[in-house]
Structure 1
Amino acid sequence: MDEYKELYYHRNPHARLEAFGDVTDRRKLRTQLGCKDFKWYLENIYPDIHVPEDRPGTFGMLKNRGMSSYCFDYNPPDDHNLVGHRIILYPCHGMGQNQFFEYSSKRSEIRYNTRDPAGCAVGDAVSTYLTVHLCKNPRQPVPQDQKFVLREAPGAGGRMEEGTTPSPRLTQELVETTRRNSAFHKWLNEIDGYPIPDVTLLPERALKASIFLIPQFN
Structure 2
Amino acid sequence: MAPLRFNVFKQAHKGLRLLLNDTIQAIQQTDFSIPAEGNACIATIKTTLQLFHVHAGLEDQDIFPMVSQIAPAVVAHFEKEHEKDEALIMNLHKNFEQYELADSPAALLVAGNTLLHEFIAFTVFNLEHMSQEECLLNPFLWSQYTDDEILAVATAAVKKIPPAKNELFIPWMLKGNSDKEVAQWLQRVKESAPAPVYERLYTTAVQILEGSRMQHITAVMEG
- Between the two structures, name the one with larger relative contact order (CA 8 Å, sep ≥ 6): 2
Shorter-chain TM band: under 0.3
TM-score (norm 1): 0.26
The structure in which a higher percent of residues are strand is 1
Instruction: Please identify the structure whose Cα radius of gyration is greater.
Output: 2
The structure in which a higher percent of residues are helix is 2
